[in-house]
Amino acid sequence: MFTTPRAVMAVGALLGATLLAVPAAAQAVPAAPTPQAARARAAAGLDDPAKKDIAMRIVSSAENSSLDWKAQYKYIEDIGDGRGYTAGIIGFCSGTGDMLDLVEYYTQVKPGNVLAKYLPALRRVNGSDSHSGLDPNFTRDWAKAAQDAEFKKAQDHERDRVYFDPAVKQGKSDGVGTLGQFIYYDAIVMHGDGGDATSFRSIRKRALAKAKPPAQGGNETTWLNAFLDARVWAMKQEEAHSDTSRVDTAQRVFLRKGNLNLNTPLDWKVYGDSYHIG
């Protein structure tokens, strides 16, 4: 939860930016669909297995500078963002609670696993960047656990429970299609869904002050631009997130092209690196 980019970023002093930025590109706004039509469009969305794989690859381009998201189960390092160790396919963090939840779940399904002995330490360091009780062997044991199919399934389970399923559910409730559901998913991966001002639900609330989602009679493109404006504002509140290229040169690109179903081929950039899904 609350992961930061693992690519090298040029970080500017961008704190305190306002939400009143002009959208990246002016475009004609088509007539808003009816709420019924919006819900029908959202019915088949990001939870389609092929679309979900695309979503994971795009997120991995930002989080791991790679489209090979399945190679990230073993990933672990402290990236110096104040959240302790960041690891796995979605950036579970020792300092934010979701890594603890993951290891607890893994231990439920496979008692005595190689990470179970770290549960007391993970409980102690939760909420901090401390490695106390984890070093020197935690990273080695994480990589060892990642060879276990049950640990991979546990990572998938927690990704879906905490991030993917809530994002898709809210997207379908708002009447947005596959792209909109992905935009929600990427936001909840980075910001979590807590009660703070930069959380997913707060970003959505800020967007609601500017536009309405399709399920409320709004235009989908207008709504998603408002949401992305709010997302950019939230990113700029924290220096480690202030490079907004995962929005500006990725999600905005798909939106400007009217690719609301996130259809391939897809071309985008993150932190200056180019990516393609054919």
Mean pLDDT of 192-219: 96
pTM: 0.85
Query: Where residue 25 falls among pLDDT bands split at 50, 70, 90?
Result: very low
- Active-site option among 78, 81, 98, 243: 81
Q: Flag the least confident range among 24-38, 132-146, 213-227.
A: 24-38
pLDDT score, position 8: 33
Mean pLDDT of 64-93: 96
Q: Is 78 in the active site?
A: no
Residue 49 domain flag: yes
pLDDT score, position 129: 97
Q: 98, 127, 145: which is the final residue of a domain?
A: 145
Q: In terms of residue numbers, what domain contains 136?
A: 76-145
CA 109 to chain centre: 26
Residues 42 and 113 reside in one and the same domain? no
Q: At what angle do helices 165-174 and 178-191 cross, to 10 degrees?
A: 130
Contact at 8 Å (CB) between 141 and 118?
yes
Alpha carbons within 13 angstroms on the beta-carbon side of residue 4 total 23
Q: Flag the least confident range among 1-15, 48-62, 230-244, 253-267.
A: 1-15
Residues 40 and 56 reside in one and the same domain? yes
pLDDT for 240 beyond 50? yes
Residue 57 domain flag: yes
pLDDT for 46 beyond 90? yes
Q: Is 239 in the active site?
A: no
pLDDT digits (tens, 9 = 90+) for 111-123: 999 999 999 999 9
pLDDT for 175 beyond 60? yes
Residues 180 and 252 reside in one and the same domain? yes
pLDDT for 18 beyond 90? no
Residues 88 and 67 reside in one and the same domain? no
Tokens of 265: 């081929």
Residue 11 domain flag: no
- Active-site option among 47, 48, 53, 63: 63
Query: Where residue 17 falls among pLDDT bands split at 50, 70, 90?
Result: very low
Q: Where are the beta strands (DSSP E) in the chain?
A: 76-78, 85-87, 92-93, 266-270, 273-277
Strand partners, 274: 269
Identify the three-state secondary structure at position 158: helix
Tokens of 190: 């980075």
pLDDT score, position 50: 97
pLDDT score, position 239: 79
Mean pLDDT of 41-49: 80
Q: Flag the least confident range among 1-15, 33-47, 172-186.
A: 1-15
Mean pLDDT of 197-210: 97
Residues 139 and 69 reside in one and the same domain? no
Provide the number of structural domains found in the chain. Answer: 2
Contact at 8 Å (CB) between 95 and 125?
yes
pLDDT for 92 beyond 80? yes
